Amino acid sequence: MDDGVFLPDPSGLTVASWDVSKAGLMLTVCTTQPQAPCPYCTVLAHRVHSHYQRTPADLPCCGYQVRLVLQHRTFVERLPTLVQPYARRTDRLAQQQQVVAFWLGGEAGAQLLLLLAMPTSADTLLRLIRRAPEAAVETPRVLGVDDWALRRGQVYGTILVDLEKGEPIDLLPERSADVLAHWLKAHPGVEIISRDRGLEYIKGATDGAPDALQVADRWHLLKNWREAVERYLERNLTCLRAVTPPAERATTTAEHSAAAKEALPRPLTKVQQAQQVRHARRQARYDVVLALFAEGHSQRSIARQLGMGKRTVAKYLAVEVCPLYPQGVRRRSKLDPYWSYLYQRWQAGCRNASQLWREIRQQGFCGSRGLVGRWAAGERPRRRHARPRGSAVAQTYPAAPGQRRRALTARQAAWWFVTAEGELEPEDQQMLQRVLAADRQAARVYTLSQAFAEMFRQRTLGALMGWLEAASQSGIGVVRSFAECLRQDLEAVKAALALPWSTGPVEGQINRLKLIKRAMYGRAGFDLLRRRVLWQPRLALV
């Protein structure tokens, strides 16, 4: 039998015997070297001081677990090409298990290795990850910087990516200027830094690498502008209230009767009652925010005291009344083709949901009985408060209910402002035109929005200064403030239009980080998460 099939270094080892059982394949291995250097004094030794038996696990063979039986001579046989001192697995088995651990983590990796005849525990896999040597960090020429959430809204870290290679090079536990500056000083040579417009990263990049060219991320610039437009629309709700979406409903022969029916009082459903509770809770919080602000508290202090986001606090302070939750949308239903028939049978006195389900099933309905039952349950409260049969106003129903449109929000309208005109749906385009017709200032903001978005889509650097001048002279506070912020970071904004670099690859690495973090159920420490994020398959020793 060829020993090279089973052993990594057959020159100094030989297979004396082998045995197959239900437990696996047992290989008795012996050394062929008569002497070896002592691991302590390096003097060649050939005497047998003592010996003992070792049984390290090895790579599987033909689906069998493999275990080596070694007659180990003390002081003489360290077998560095096969197994480390005191180890219970060979080096090549440990390498394979380590690769699986990096890919899948502890629990999932242990389940897979059990099927591959390389069983081990999840804790052992995590130890293998922590024992893996870290690759030396090479200072990148183009560095991408962005933040990631260890605990969303509370604890944030920083991820650094080599944009030329598209690989993460380090993970920092904080999102602060000092931490970034310290890393840049420890790794001199960065020429270009792509980052968002966060003040911490601007200061950290300036302090840590003053000679590096900073590039503002184009996507974040467009996002910041859309948020500015959203703030403007939140403070000027008249243009949004002027838009009344046309109701989509089928007319009936007795439309006035349907209108009379809708005017009848009906009890609130459980969903509507819960919605009222939510509205009352939001109104109470809105009142508390206004009261704290009137007492002199800052927005950051209010957010910290109430456990709210700073942006939510700013939104509450920017509007005159408490913003309500937008009305929900009625989605399409399998019952839509059968509304007319169901209403006719309901008006005729059939209140049995199972009977109605059987009848429309014969007409081709493929839904469940529960769907019809929920519809009937919603009709019964309305019928209890409806006019009695035979009254002056007959009970008639529409052939098919229209979808209840969601009230136009500032966020939705802001998206329309930055979207290219040709990419909007015809209905959205009509509603946008009604918004612009209701407010002249909104029309000016829309013109600036289209110019700003087109400037970054085409990366026309020559249009930047003209746009800043037009925004500064617009007479709109939010627009002027945004233009002033761009002027404070003007060189980075110019670089964003002139250079191809962006934090897009960084966002991709953040998505990968989130996947790894969630696969570990959020229980991984920062050190373990960092090792798995920075590990690259090419670093594996196969």
What's the mean pLDDT in 203-225?
A: 95
Task: Select from 404, 274, 262 the least CA-distant residue to 333.
Answer: 404
More confident residue, 31 or 47: 31
Taken in order 501, 504, 510, 516, the sign of the CA dihedral is: negative
**Residue 438, pLDDT score:** 86
pLDDT band of residue 115 (cuts 50, 70, 90) is very high
Name which of 197-206, 318-327, 457-466 the model is least confident about.
318-327
- Contact predicate 229/445, CB 8 Å: yes
Q: What residue type is 528 in one-letter code?
A: L
Task: Select from 498, 501, 470, 472 the least CA-distant residue to 485.
Answer: 472
**Residue 302, pLDDT score:** 92
What's the mean pLDDT in 177-185?
A: 95
- Contact predicate 486/467, CB 8 Å: no
In this structure, the number of other CB atoms found within 10 A of the CB of residue 259 comes to: 10
Tokens describing residue 447: 């013109």
Q: Please list, in sequence order, all residues whose beta carbon lies within 8 angstroms of the beta carbon of residue 21, skipping any fewer than 6 positions away.
A: none
**Residue 244, pLDDT score:** 53
First to last CA, the chain: 25
Q: Please, is 108 exposed, middle or buried when counting C-beta atoms within 10 Å of its C-beta (0-12, 13-18, 19+)?
A: middle
Return the SS3 of 295. Answer: coil
**Residue 52, pLDDT score:** 72
Q: Above 90 in pLDDT, residue 164?
A: yes
Task: Select from 318, 381, 311 the least CA-distant residue to 351.
Answer: 381
What's the mean pLDDT in 492-512?
A: 94
Alpha helices by DSSP H, 160-198:
177-186
Q: Which domains does the chain have, with CATH numbers?
A: 3-131 (no CATH), 142-217+502-539 (3.30.420.10), 224-245+408-498 (no CATH), 255-384 (no CATH)
Name which of 314-318, 361-365, 443-447 the model is least confident about.
314-318
pLDDT band of residue 393 (cuts 50, 70, 90) is very low
Specify which of 15-24, 69-78, 360-369 reaches the highest per-range mean pLDDT: 360-369
What's the mean pLDDT in 390-418?
A: 63
**Residue 246, pLDDT score:** 46
Q: Please list, in sequence order, all residues whose beta carbon lies within 8 angstroms of the beta carbon of residue 12, skipping any fewer than 6 positions away.
A: 31, 32, 33, 79, 81
**Cα 387 to Cα 385: distance, rounded to the nearest angstrom:** 7
Q: Above 50 in pLDDT, residue 277?
A: yes
Name which of 234-238, 349-353, 438-442 the model is least confident about.
234-238
Please give, one letter per residue, the 3-state secondary structure of 309-366: CHHHHHHHHHCCCCCCCCCCCCCCCCCHHHHHHHHHHHHCCCCCHHHHHHHHHHCCCC
pLDDT tens column, 267-276: 666 667 787 8
pLDDT tens column, 247-268: 443 333 334 444 444 444 556 6
**Residue 326, pLDDT score:** 57
What's the mean pLDDT in 336-346?
A: 88
**Cα 81 to Cα 92: distance, rounded to the nearest angstrom:** 9
Q: Above 60 in pLDDT, residue 91?
A: yes
Tokens describing residue 67: 């275990």
Q: Above 50 in pLDDT, residue 80?
A: yes
Against a cut of 0.75, is the pTM above it?
no
Q: Above 50 in pLDDT, residue 220?
A: yes
More confident residue, 238 or 357: 357
- Contact predicate 126/101, CB 8 Å: yes
pLDDT tens column, 469-497: 999 999 898 999 999 999 999 999 999 99
Name which of 127-136, 457-466, 495-504 the model is least confident about.
127-136
pLDDT band of residue 16 (cuts 50, 70, 90) is confident
**Cα 191 to Cα 214: distance, rounded to the nearest angstrom:** 9
In this structure, the number of other CB atoms found within 10 A of the CB of residue 449 comes to: 22
What's the mean pLDDT in 111-139?
A: 91
What's the mean pLDDT in 333-358?
A: 88
**Cα 83 to Cα 68: distance, rounded to the nearest angstrom:** 10
Question: In this structure, which long-range contacts are made by residues 37-46, counting pairs with CB atoms below 8 Å and at least 24 apart in sequence?
Answer: 38/75, 38/76, 39/75, 39/78, 40/75, 45/75, 45/76, 46/76
Specify which of 309-323, 325-339, 371-385 reaches the highest per-range mean pLDDT: 309-323
Q: Above 50 in pLDDT, residue 395?
A: no
What's the mean pLDDT in 421-436?
A: 88
pLDDT band of residue 47 (cuts 50, 70, 90) is low
**Residue 134, pLDDT score:** 86
Report the percentage of the chain scoring pLDDT > 90.
44
The pair phi, psi for residue 54, each rounded to 5°, is -115, 145
Rounded to 10 degrees, what is the CA torsion of 481, 483, 488, 489? 130
What's the mean pLDDT in 43-54?
A: 70
Name which of 263-272, 292-301, 331-340, 485-494 the model is least confident about.
263-272
**Cα 398 to Cα 249: distance, rounded to the nearest angstrom:** 8
What's the mean pLDDT in 167-195?
A: 95
- Contact predicate 63/21, CB 8 Å: no
